[in-house]
Structure 1
Amino acid sequence: MKLHVNRDVLADAVAWTARILPSRPAVPVLGGILLDAHGEDLTLSAFDYEVSARATVEAQVAEPGRTLIPGRVLAEITKSLPDHPVEIVTDGAEAILTCGSAEFGLHTMPVDEFPALPEMPPRIGAVGGGLLATAVAQVAPSASRDDTLPMLTGIRMDISGHNVTLAATDRYRIAAREFLWHPERPDVTAAAMVSARVLVDIARTLRAGEVSIALGDGVIGFESVGRRTTVRLMDEQFIDYRSRLANTPAIWATVPVAPLVEAIRRVSLVADRNPAVRLSFGRDQVLVQAGGGDIGRGAEVVAAELEGDGIQIAFQSHFLLDGLSGLETERVRIGMDTPTRPALITDDADDPTFRYLVMSLRLGS
């Protein structure tokens, strides 16, 4: 194999592919990146049996071929190269990488031991990368990090025609985001469970262009701008989140998001081991309180509009902040029934696209 490729293009492709490499591969070849040079393209591939990544870039291929190079070493080298074109040549069991006056000889691994990557399933639609990344970021904080309950560590994706809903829960809160996309067929329906950690990474790295989504045979695929990745799906079992989010609370408060977030963060500085934040809603304001333990207490008033009776309700501060951080509007709507029932947080719109149901805490005497 012999080829020339742009330094920046190669470094970006290697970094994107190497991000899925396992820190402790079950077998050595899974720590490698496969380079496949044919025609006018260089394709870099990585696979850990759960997630695959393929990046294709333009290259001047003098001699086609394949080679398997230790991925993390290759990533460190390519991001440190001088600003010159890169030449990669294989010579026996060595891949020689030359850039300007810098030269590296890397021991290769057996190509025939590298597992075949999953085929991309049939495409079912496409969505803007920025919209997908935003939607995933809104619901991902609500996914559990407890691997003993795998169902709760994923993000549920429900597709019905032109509508997509992402949802996640850790039993203490539920987040759901709806958005429109471009389906291949207007009558398409599908459901999938994807690891929240993996989906966050994929959406973040593909946000620059339109993302094609493919689904089938227990695999979901994402493709955008020369980048292609597949993920093995989790078990589809998930809670009935729609019924839980369909409740219409009796009390609604509308509050500017930025002042409320700032107030919660300020008063939480004295929360110590008690991270609860109490919100007391009155006619024109909400009183935000925290603390009362060994350190002290904090309180701040924020303007608010109230529909219904006054109410005092408490939440874990970080749960409340996670819900508020998912909003894209300047004001938040908080729906409540009683101090002991969950509260519903939505964006300030006639038909909100983001809903966040969070458990309240029992107020002390």
Structure 2
Amino acid sequence: MKVTLERNHLLKSLSHVHRVVERRNTYPILANVLLKASEDRLELRATDLDIEVTESVPAMVSTPGTTTVPAHTLYEIVRKLSDGAEVRLDTEGGEQMLLTSGRSRFHLACLTPDSFPDLKSGNFAHTFSIPVGELRELIERTQFAISNEETRYYLNGIFFHAIESSRDGMVLRAVATDGHRLARADTDAPEGSAGMPGIIVPKKTVGEVQKLLDSAEGEVAVEVSETKIRFTLGPVVLLSKLIEGTFPDYERVTPKNNDKRMSVDRQSFATAVDRVSTIASDRGGKAVKLSAHSGQLELSVTNPDHGTASEELAVEFETDGFEIGFNARYLLDIIAQIRSDEAEFMFNDAGSPTLVQDTGETRALYVLMPMRV
């Protein structure tokens, strides 16, 4: 294989594909990136057996061929080359690849591509396209609530499904929960998504897709089968296994009869929670107590080892004498998702889940379990 290409093109593609490669691997081939040169393209592919990322870049191919080299090493070499430099890749020797750029020369050990795994895609029954901004919004509004608890593996991702909404018609819905808080976000269902089965996209896949969307525009092509999902964004193709399991019935834990409404300035509330939680004890779960009385909300924290803290805010609240406690970190995570100036809380009682959402917003809502304080 003999290939010449522009350093910036190669670096951009390597930055996409090398991230899925784990630093430690049982199988040496999984530490490598597959390079396949043909016609006027160089294809790069990497996998961890759960996710596979493929991207093609323009190149001058003198001799077609295929090889694999250490992914992270290649990325670091290319990253440190001069901006706009020309890079030449040559595997004429077979067991090593010679990378030259200007006066720099590197010899990288190659492994035969015959043993490089192929994450078979299978048959995709549902295909649709969704604007980059809408998919990014669904992920951003829900990914913080993904569980890290390995024993409840079915919560280690975002649950996507198409559902009929009483207010907005057919929507594509994303839901994530760790049992302490729940995040739900909707967007108009893209054409072709109707009838799509509920799928759980793993946390690592969500993170990789989010990075691809950060600087992208246009639309993302999404293909779904019973066991896999494929995202195509320009020249980048990300194929991932889905989590096998049943996502819990989130509607059962979403409050329907919370009638105590409180409206509060989002920024002032977030700042106050952050301030008083400074002395909160990790051992006590970072608990902060909310006490409403006479149009005022008092936020307070008691730590037997460090003392107490309190702060008052003006709120719109029709009920006096109401108290409830929350984990301060979970509360801040949810408030960070509120886009309007006012955050709206809907309470039932001190022991029941609380609803939080933007004022007048119906496309996203959050559920937070209370704590005893």
Distance 1:299 1:182 in 2: 47
Q: 1:120 deviation in Å?
A: 7.0
| TM-score under structure 1 length normalisation | 0.93
Distance 2:189 2:129 in 1: 6
**Amino acid of the structure 2 residue aligned with 1:175:** A
Q: 1:283 deviation in Å?
A: 4.2
- 1:9 matched to 2:44? The reply is no
Give 1:234's aligned residue.
Answer: 243
| 1:246-284 residue CA offsets vs partner (Å, 9 max, x unmatched) | 513110111111111100000111113431111112343
Structure 2 matches for 1:109-128, cutoff 5 A?
A: 109-119=111-121, 121-122=123-124, 124-128=127-131
Instruction: Return the match for 1:183 from 179, 184, 191.
Output: 191
Q: 1:2 deviation in Å?
A: 1.4
SS of 1:49's equivalent in the other structure is coil
Q: 1:308 deviation in Å?
A: 4.1
Distance 1:167 1:326 in 2: 14
Distance 1:362 1:188 in 2: 42
How many residues are aligned here?
361
**Amino acid of the structure 1 residue aligned with 2:171:** N
Q: Is the 8 A contact 2:280 2:287 kept in 1?
A: yes
Distance 2:90 2:303 in 1: 68
Distance 1:120 1:80 in 2: 38
- 1:261 matched to 2:274? The reply is no
Give 1:194's aligned residue.
Answer: 201
Mean CA deviation greater in 204-213 or 42-51: 204-213
Distance 1:78 1:58 in 2: 16
Distance 1:170 1:201 in 2: 20
Give 1:205's aligned residue.
Answer: 212
Give 1:25's aligned residue.
Answer: 25
Distance 2:294 2:147 in 1: 36
| 1:36-74 residue CA offsets vs partner (Å, 9 max, x unmatched) | 111222110011211111111111222221111111111
Distance 1:231 1:358 in 2: 30
Distance 1:15 1:173 in 2: 33
Give 1:174's aligned residue.
Answer: 182
Q: Is the 8 A contact 1:121 1:221 kept in 2?
A: no
Distance 1:358 1:197 in 2: 24
Give 2:43's aligned residue.
Answer: 43
Distance 1:299 1:309 in 2: 18
**Amino acid of the structure 2 residue aligned with 1:50:** D
Give 2:172's aligned residue.
Answer: 164
Q: RMSD over aligned Cα, in angstroms?
A: 1.8
Q: Any stretches of 5+ residues in structure 1 without a counterpart?
A: none
Instruction: Return the match for 1:214 from 208, 211, 223.
Output: 223
Q: Is the 8 A contact 1:268 1:291 kept in 2?
A: no
| 1:217-260 residue CA offsets vs partner (Å, 9 max, x unmatched) | 41011110211111111124011112322513110111111111
**Amino acid of the structure 1 residue aligned with 2:362:** P
Q: Is the 8 A contact 1:52 1:118 kept in 2?
A: no
Q: 1:118 deviation in Å?
A: 2.3
Q: Is the 8 A contact 2:121 2:228 kept in 1?
A: no
Distance 2:264 2:76 in 1: 47
Using a 3 Å threshold, how does the CA distance of structure 1 residues 181 and 77 change in structure 2: closer, same or farther? farther
SS of 2:247's equivalent in the other structure is coil
| TM-score under structure 2 length normalisation | 0.91
Identical positions, percent: 25
Q: Is the 8 A contact 1:250 1:308 kept in 2?
A: no
Q: 1:77 deviation in Å?
A: 0.7
